[in-house]
């Protein structure tokens, strides 16, 4: 830039500087403070300072400001990406405590863990629920939900469960369409978690109304239900139902369905 600017050049630079302050000030008014610039400009005029030098320095100052803002924005984006990765890693860690069942190559990883969680629940918690409630009037509160969980978690003759067989067919029918695959996945998660929520809620309601004798002992066959026997054998009804209710909530939370079901903790 030449030492002394023409009137036209000064006017052009002034317009450029003001335009930059207005444009960037919309998003960052404190950083791009046009009022401060106008004050500095008037001061230079009053003191008959070197206007060319002043405008040159202001242009350089503006470029520095823009550079800093761009760096901050880049850092924020990097932090967002880092946070997102951390959240995804934490979510996956929660799922990895469940058994993963690779029932079909198209099935999402989350779905394989969910099927594993449902199989574990069917092996460990369902036999205890049936031992406590089967044959009692109270069983009617849980029956529909238990049937849903049995259809998802119980398999026969080495085949996937009935519900998982249906899901596999739907995944194949989706023909690789990611939207349809996601829809099938979310439907299974939703149905399973609604059933778990209803079981947990029914347990809490029936316990609050003293419809269960909390001091009776759980009786599950070591031979028929080895996993249930290890966890619940010898425990009282009251403590067992607390544990089952907590297990339901834990699965719902781990598979991020709590907000959808109105169960924010």
Q: What is the pLDDT of residues 149-158, one digit of tens each?
A: 999 999 888 8
Residue 233 — φ and ψ, nearest 5°?
-60, 130
Q: How many CB atoms are located within 10 Å of the residue 147 CB?
A: 11
Query: What confidence score (pLDDT) does residue 2 get?
Result: 45
Query: What confidence score (pLDDT) does residue 1 get?
Result: 42
181-205: burial string, b at 16+ Cβ within 10 Å, e else: beebbeebbeebbbbbbbbbbbbee
State the virtual CA torsion across 138, 141, 143, 147 in degrees, nearest 10.
Answer: -150
Query: What confidence score (pLDDT) does residue 247 get?
Result: 97
Q: Which residues of the chain have pLDDT under 50?
A: 1-2
Q: Taking a C-beta distance cutoff of 8 angstroms, is the pair 59, 17 a contact?
A: yes
Q: Rounded distance, CA 135 to CA 74, Å?
A: 63
Token pair 């001061």: residue: 43
Distances (CA, A) of 123 to 129, 150, 227: 11, 10, 6
Distances (CA, A) of 87 to 98, 143, 252: 18, 36, 17
Nearest to 123, CA basis, from 247, 258, 255: 247
Query: What confidence score (pLDDT) does residue 121 get?
Result: 97
Q: Taking a C-beta distance cutoff of 8 angstroms, is the pair 153, 110 a contact?
A: no
Q: What is the pTM of this model?
A: 0.68
């Amino acid at each position: 830039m030449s030492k002394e600017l023409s009137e036209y050049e000064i006017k052009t630079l002034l317009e450029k500087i003001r335009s930059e302050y207005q444009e960037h000030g919309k998003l960052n008014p404190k950083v791009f403070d046009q009022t401060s610039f106008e004050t500095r400009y008037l001061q230079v005029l009053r003191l008959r300072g070197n206007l060319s030098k002043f405008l040159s320095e202001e242009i350089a100052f503006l470029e520095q400001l823009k550079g800093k803002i761009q760096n901050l924005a880049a850092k924020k984006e990097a932090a967002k990406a880092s946070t997102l990765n951390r959240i995804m890693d934490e979510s996956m860690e929660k799922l990895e405590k469940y058994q993963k069942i690779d029932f079909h190559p198209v099935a999402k990883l989350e779905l394989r863990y969910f099927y594993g969680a449902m199989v574990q629940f069917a092996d460990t918690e369902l036999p205890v629920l049936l031992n406590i409630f089967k044959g009692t009037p109270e069983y009617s509160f849980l029956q529909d939900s238990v049937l849903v969980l049995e259809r998802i978690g119980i398999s026969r003759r080495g085949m996937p469960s009935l519900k998982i067989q249906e899901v596999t067919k739907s995944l194949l029918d989706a023909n690789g369409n990611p939207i349809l695959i996601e829809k099938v996945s979310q439907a299974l998660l939703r149905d399973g978690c609604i059933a778990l929520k209803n079981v947990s809620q029914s347990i809490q309601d029936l316990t609050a109304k003293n419809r269960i004798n909390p001091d009776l002992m759980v009786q599950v066959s070591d031979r028929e239900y080895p996993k249930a026997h290890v966890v619940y054998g010898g425990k009282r009804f009251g403590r067992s139902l607390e544990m089952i209710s907590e297990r339901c909530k834990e699965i719902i939370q781990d598979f991020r369905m709590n907000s959808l079901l109105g169960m924010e903790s």
